[in-house]
Amino acid sequence: MSKLVAYFSAEAGRTAKAAKALAQKTGADLFEIRPEKPYSPSDLMYMNPLARCNREKIGKKDVPVAEKVKDWDSYDTIYLGFPIWYYGAPNVIQTFCKGYDWTGKQVYLFATSGGSGIGKTQEKLEPYMKGAMIKDARRIGSMEELKSWV
């Protein structure tokens, strides 16, 4: 059985950087969670009440994912990474989670953020990951933290 690092990263590539380092250190495959419609810089301007990110958040909208993981069943361990948006996981992560059978998967959640902790992210995602064994959930603040976590 094998490991997968699945990640979403939008703003500055911070989560992508952590995900790539994690995949390298653990020997896991790497999968980028890409929304069907990529985020432009103005989509992410949360100071603008009408920005896409705010509309999706307020509307609790699903955000369709462009591509599915191949051979999902072959993975027993999933590292799922994302930036913290509004103290939780971006909606696209919920949509991603809904697309798979999580039964028996060992899951590690990791996030980057501007300062917020991982908060209740795990509890909020659990309904969409039925059957998963979530082993840990943490904010990765630096490459050193990532190394010690691994």
Q: Which stretch binds ligand FMN (CB under 6 A): 7-15, 20-28, 96-104, 142-150?
A: 7-15
CB nearer ligand FMN, residue 106 or residue 119? 119
Sequence letter at residue 38? P
| Host H or E run for residue 54 | helix 52-58
Does position 10 interact with ligand FMN (CB under 6 A)? The reply is yes
**Interface with ligand FMN by CB under 6 A: which range of 9-17, 26-34, 92-100, 127-135?**
9-17
Q: Which amino acid is at 25?
A: K
**Looking at beta carbons only, is 94 or 113 nearer to ligand FMN?**
113
Encode 127-148: b = buried (16+ Cβ within 10 Å), e = exposed: ebbeebebeebbbbeeeeebee
Give dist(CA 144, CA 150) in Å, integer: 10
Verify binding: residue 115, ligand FMN, rule CB under 6 A: yes
| Binding residues vs ligand FMN (CB under 6 A) | 9-16, 44, 46, 53, 83-87, 112-116
